[in-house]
């Protein structure tokens, strides 16, 4: 298996006459729209065209006036160079290149027209680049018509009027949304020339911009998404027409260069991943419940903050000359009124999940019970640090003595005759237990046993925490923060254990107080995580219902 670059190397010798246009050709041309060809491909006003091979040569030589290349980091220039070496695309005519970024109008739009040697035309719309205004448009999509959508419709109509032959339109990410929007808003007469619209992991059309006479289930709208599809499932109720395998993980599967092809076909999978489905359901619920005014408030506050220091690209926000994160935080603080309602709603949702947890049932589980007892022990250490170790040892000895005494008595009553247990033996056992109980009242003699018991307890706890950290790290690589928490806890516990064992004959109130604080923190953090996990499980269960 490979990606679109491998496809060009493997199947580039086949012309469109040898092998007709296919889904992978669509991926290639949708990706091409994300390469900066300004100053190389003629714009609509100048007219004319340039072959793809000539455009590749010009790009390789470099030219002045190129837009900031850091805007476009998704598709490498190697794509157009491989296309120029293929019989399938090298003679294609590129024309009507548009690349517009206008912060005053809130628009980021780019498109290219590709005339193939079979007489058909592919219109490629660019997806979101790294400009702040481009990302803002993606947010605006959830509550309003985007300026780039209007431009996409105008662009497609101009091509339909001036071009003969079959027209295909497509794009990746936001470009896929633009293709679907533009196709859906054509007139019936205009659509007769446009054969298909490819939405490659792009959002669908929100209720305010969806065309009234054509739905997403129309056979002429083809949706392609990876298995972990999130962006491509926004405003889409049904699964994509094609679910393609990806070499990426998680959200990185959105990158079209990670999509897997074999020969001239997509490497398909059967269904979206369960984790992606959970995320999509949560986002869909929020979009359904959040009014347009609230979405607008969040968008305006966030992107005003991001550009507060003068940055125009997402990756420049943290640079010193643009004010860095400080500018963003100060701007968000000034717009707290806009964020108050959505922030309060988010807090209410989170609080409701924690309130809904069955705490009684949670405390009946073994681990929460142990954590609660650990917290009580920590409080005890903090309150009486001078006597805590001795008293814990006394309670331990007394508890063991009572437990052993009960077991001996029970054994003697049940099996005394069978094993011919004599009362002198039982009396001797009672004397030994009495001596142990007497020892538990000698506070001074309990310092060493208490510290030994405490030290062993810390070492065992440290070993257990380290073992859990390794298990989390190997079985759930994405939960690295939780694994690190286990490792830190293991290190601290082992240090406390070493101190207890090396100072077994001493009473150190400061050490005992610190140990109590540590035990209390471990108990509280553990109980919080257990509660959070239970709340998350409840929430996911409701999402799947």
In this predicted model, what pLDDT tens digit does every residue of 458-499 receive, in sequence order?
Answer: 898 889 888 888 887 777 655 667 778 888 888 988 988 888
Task: Read off the DSSP letter of residue 248.
Answer: S
| Stretch 147-170: mean pLDDT | 93
Determine the pLDDT at residue 112.
Answer: 96
Task: Among 73-77, 99-103, 137-141, 428-432, name the one with the lowest average pLDDT.
Answer: 428-432
Length of the chain in terms of residues written: 545
* pLDDT at residue 535 tops 60: yes
Q: Within 10 Å of residue 133's Cβ, how many Cβ atoms? A: 23
| Integer Cα distance of 300 and 303 in angstroms | 6
The CA angle 270-274-278, to the nearest 5 degrees, is: 135
Average pLDDT of the residues of the chain: 78
Pairing of the two strands 242-244 and 221-226: parallel
Determine the pLDDT at residue 64.
Answer: 47
Determine the pLDDT at residue 42.
Answer: 94
Determine the pLDDT at residue 194.
Answer: 93
| Integer Cα distance of 4 and 27 in angstroms | 7
Q: Quick one: which of 381, 426, 434, 435 has its CA closest to 407?
A: 426
| Stretch 316-330: mean pLDDT | 54
**Cβ(519)–Cβ(377) below 8 Å:** yes
Give Cα 35 distance to the centre of its chain: 27
Distance (Å) of CA 329 to CA 310, 325, 340 = 14, 6, 15
3-class DSSP assignment, residue 515: helix
**Cβ(300)–Cβ(139) below 8 Å:** no
Question: pTM to 2 decimals?
Answer: 0.63
Task: Among 173-187, 273-287, 289-303, name the one with the lowest average pLDDT.
Answer: 289-303
| Integer Cα distance of 16 and 115 in angstroms | 12
Determine the pLDDT at residue 286.
Answer: 61
Determine the pLDDT at residue 93.
Answer: 96
Determine the pLDDT at residue 67.
Answer: 47
Q: Quick one: which of 374, 316, 288 has its CA closest to 130?
A: 316
* pLDDT at residue 4 tops 90: yes
Q: What percent of the chain has pLDDT over 70?
A: 66
Task: List pLDDT tens digits, range 345-367.
Answer: 555 656 666 666 677 776 677 77
């Amino acid at each position: 298996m490979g990606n679109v670059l491998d496809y060009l190397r493997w199947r580039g010798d086949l012309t469109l006459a040898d092998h007709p246009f296919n889904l992978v050709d669509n991926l290639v041309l949708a990706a091409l729209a994300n390469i900066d060809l300004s100053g190389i491909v003629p714009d609509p006003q100048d007219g004319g065209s340039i072959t793809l091979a000539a455009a590749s040569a010009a790009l390789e030589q470099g030219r002045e006036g190129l837009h900031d290349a850091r805007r476009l980091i998704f598709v490498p220039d190697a794509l157009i160079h491989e296309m120029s070496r293929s019989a399938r695309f090298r003679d294609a005519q590129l024309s009507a290149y548009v690349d517009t970024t206008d912060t005053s109008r809130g628009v980021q739009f780019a498109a290219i027209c590709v005339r193939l040697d079979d007489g058909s035309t592919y219109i490629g719309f660019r997806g979101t680049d790294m400009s702040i205004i481009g990302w803002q448009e993606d947010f605006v999509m959830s509550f309003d018509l985007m300026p780039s959508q209007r431009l996409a419709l105008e662009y497609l109509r101009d091509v339909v009027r001036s071009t003969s032959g079959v027209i295909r339109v497509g794009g990746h990410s936001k470009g896929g949304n633009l293709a679907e929007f533009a196709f859906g808003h054509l007139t019936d007469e205009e659509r007769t020339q446009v054969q298909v619209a490819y939405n490659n992991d792009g959002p669908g059309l929100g209720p305010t911009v969806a065309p009234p006479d054509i739905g997403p289930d129309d056979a002429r709208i083809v949706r392609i998404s990876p298995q972990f599809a999130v962006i491509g499932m926004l405003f889409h109720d049904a699964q994509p027409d094609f679910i393609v395998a990806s070499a990426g993980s998680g959200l990185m599967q959105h990158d079209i260069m990670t999509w897997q092809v074999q020969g001239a076909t997509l490497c398909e999978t059967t269904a979206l991943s369960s984790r992606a489905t959970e995320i999509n359901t949560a986002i869909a619920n929020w979009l359904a419940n959040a009014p347009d005014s609230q979405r607008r408030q969040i968008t305006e506050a966030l992107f005003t903050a991001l550009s507060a220091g003068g940055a125009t690209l997402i990756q420049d926000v943290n640079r010193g000359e643009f004010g860095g994160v400080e500018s963003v935080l100060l701007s968000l603080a000034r717009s707290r009124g806009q964020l108050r309602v959505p922030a309060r709603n988010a807090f209410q949702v989170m609080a409701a999940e924690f309130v809904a947890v069955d705490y009684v049932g949670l405390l009946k589980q073994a681990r929460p019970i142990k954590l609660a007892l650990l917290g009580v022990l920590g409080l005890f250490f903090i309150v009486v640090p001078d006597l805590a170790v001795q008293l814990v040892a006394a309670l331990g000895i007394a508890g063991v003595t009572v437990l052993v005494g009960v077991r001996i008595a029970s054994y003697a009553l049940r099996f005394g005759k069978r094993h011919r247990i004599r009362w002198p033996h039982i009396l001797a056992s009672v004397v030994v237990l009495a001596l142990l109980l007497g020892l538990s009242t000698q506070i001074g003699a309990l310092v060493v046993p208490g510290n030994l018991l405490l030290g062993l307890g810390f070492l065992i706890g440290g070993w257990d925490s380290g073992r859990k950290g390794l298990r989390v790290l190997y079985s759930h690589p994405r939960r690295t923060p939780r694994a690190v928490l286990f490792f830190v806890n293991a290190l601290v516990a082992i240090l406390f254990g070493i101190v207890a064992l090396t100072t077994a004959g001493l009473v150190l109130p400061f050490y005992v107080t610190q140990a109590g604080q540590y035990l209390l923190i471990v108990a509280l953090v553990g109980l919080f995580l257990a509660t959070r996990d239970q709340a998350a499980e409840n929430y996911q269960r409701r999402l799947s219902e």
